[in-house]
Amino acid sequence: METQKTYEEKRRLFGRWFTRRITTYAVVCAFLTFVNWYTTPHYWWVAWVAAG
């Protein structure tokens, strides 16, 4: 039997999903910034990754 999700449940699930995505984006960008700084500090290619 399929149950309908209420508006509040959908909103809560979207909030969790969005928070996970933003957190993942921030962690990956921070890691790549460190790699960029350590390997080629004269060219900041990580800006292209963050912009994407």
Q: pLDDT tens, position by position, for the chain (52 residues)?
A: 567 779 899 999 999 999 999 999 999 999 999 999 999 999 999 999 999 8
Residue at 2 is within a domain = no
Q: What per-residue confidence (pLDDT) applies to 1?
A: 55
Residues 6+ apart with CB under 8 A from 36: 44, 45, 46
Residue at 1 is within a domain = no
Residue at 28 is within a domain = yes
Structural domain count, the chain: 1
Q: Which domain holds residue 22?
A: 7-51
Residues 6+ apart with CB under 8 A from 45: 36
Q: What per-residue confidence (pLDDT) applies to 2?
A: 60
Q: What is the reported pTM?
A: 0.77
